[in-house]
Amino acid sequence: MRSTPRCLSTPLSFWVSAGIVAHTLWTSAAPAMVYPLYAHEWNLTPTVTTAIFAVYPIVVVAMLVLFGDLSDFIGRRSTMLLGLGSSIIGVFLFAIAPNVATLFIGRVFMGIGVGLSAGPSTAALQEFAGSGGVTRASSTTIVAQAIGFSCALIVGGFLVQYAPFPSRLTFIVLFVLLLALFAVSWFLPENRRANVGRWHPKIPGVRREIRTAFIASSVAVMTAYTHGVIITSLGAQIAKELVQSSNIFVNGSVLALFAISLGIAGLFARRLTGIKAVVWGSLASIVGMLFLAAAIAQHTLVFFIPATSISGMGYALMVYGGLAIINPVTPEKVRGGVMSALYLFAYLFTGLLAVALGKVATEVSMAVAALIGAAVMIGLCAIVIALVVSLSRTPAVQIKSINSQRA
């Protein structure tokens, strides 16, 4: 990274970048505990509430397609600032929203913000971590996501249940925090840009020599993000309607166990190679989905609590493993584009799945939608295991995985 006057130190820059990673999950999950309020106050169907969720990943995908490698040309700092600015606008619109149309516009800005900042912030963590910092960057990414996710659910659940202006205050709090993060991020050093040519919008490309590793890692991350459809898009309504828990703060806290276990697992994940982490994460997610099915069948938090907790572990291990597989084999000058391409598949799939499950919930029932989501997760986990087991037989990937584990 290139330092300029009044720039933050490298250690501080690392943690500010982690804060930007955290903002992507907090912004994504911020409306999660408010969806039931919208449904009640404005008589919204599950199709509409999941569409509010789904427009976000769809916009993220559009941004990744068009601007995925922007940070490789104009720099990580500049791109992250653009992303934070857009997220701030989106959160502000949610704070003042008088109708559903404003929510959709707000989600568009949130999607633009996360689409611009997700890849660059992940790449910046790797670069600020220094030489041999692959495992540190990957595990910090997981912990930062966990903090953002848990804050959205716990803080959101508490404010909705006990504070005034339940559909507004959670967004006001996030708005203030994002303003502070933007101010600090202004002093990040800019990276040395290897690509000095003229930038133009294009689909992020992946070099042929890393495509095998990219496919395995991107499917692993995509599968991990599928948890978000069930936990973020449907989770609050599953807890209220199917598990029959009426306290929003309790529901938010139970859903936050997903993020808390995610963060704890992320701290210990660095002891595993990327391939082993993905395999164990897939197995944990399968177990979590079985508990979810039991919670729906028995209408009890007794099964819903382990469903969210174990699924969080699965998410952490799959995302960590996916990043640990692809990071060591990706050249720095294209890292921003590759990270954006990886997130592209994750957000595209989750957006489409959210719309589909919302339609099922409206036309059939919430229970059927949740069970279909669980079945999709189990199927994806099986595919991920097959991909990484096959990848483990590739000598180059084995060497890179071992080296990154030692770093």
Tell me: pLDDT of 389 over 50.
yes
The pTM of this model reads 0.74
What's the rounded mean pLDDT across residues 356-373?
86
Q: Are 225 and 349 in contact (CB under 8 A)?
A: yes
Question: Which of 64-73, 81-90, 192-201, 271-280 tops mean pLDDT?
Answer: 81-90
- Looking at 71-85, 155-169, 231-245, which range is the least confident one? 231-245
Q: Please tell me the distance from the alpha carbon of residue 303 to that of residue 305, in angstroms, as a whole number.
A: 6
Mean pLDDT of 247-272: 81
CA dist 290 and 133 (Å) reads 36
Q: Is the dihedral of CA 272, 275, 276, 281 positive or negative?
A: positive
pLDDT over 80 (residue 337): no
Count of structural domains within the chain: 1
Over 80: is that where the pLDDT of 197 sits? no
Two structure tokens written together for 274: 């990327």
Confidence of residue 245 (pLDDT cuts 50, 70, 90): low
pLDDT at 225: 87
Instruction: Give me the domain span that covers residue 217.
Output: 10-189+208-406
Q: In this structure, is residue 348 part of a structural domain?
A: yes
Mean pLDDT of 247-267: 81
Rounded to whole angstroms, the Cα distance separating 103 from 93 reads: 7
Can you give the pLDDT at residue 395? 57
The percent of residues in the chain predicted with pLDDT above 70, rounded, is 86
Look up the CATH number of the domain holding residue 298.
1.20.1250.20
The backbone torsions φ and ψ at residue 280, rounded to the nearest 5 degrees and listed phi first, read: -65, -35
Instruction: Look at residue 150 and tell me if it is in a domain.
Output: yes
Q: 201 or 122: whose pLDDT is higher?
A: 122
- CA angle, residues 403, 404, 407, in degrees to nearest 5: 90
Is 200 contained in some domain? no
Considering the domain boundaries, does residue 202 fall inside one? no
Q: Is residue 377 part of a domain?
A: yes
In a domain, 38, yes or no: yes
Does residue 314 belong to any structural domain of this protein? Answer: yes
In eight-state DSSP terms, residue 238 is I
Kindly state whether residue 199 falls inside one of the protein's structural domains. Answer: no
Whether the pLDDT of residue 71 is over 90: the answer is no
Q: What is the mean pLDDT of residues 123-142?
A: 78
Q: For residue 194, name the pLDDT band (cuts at 50, 70, 90).
A: low
Lowest mean pLDDT among 4-13, 83-92, 364-373: 4-13
Of residues 56 and 384, the one with the higher pLDDT is 384
Inform me whether the pLDDT recorded for 220 exceeds 90.
yes
Best CA proximity match to 343, nearest among 323, 357, 358? 323
Cβ atoms of 121 and 14 closer than 8 Å: no
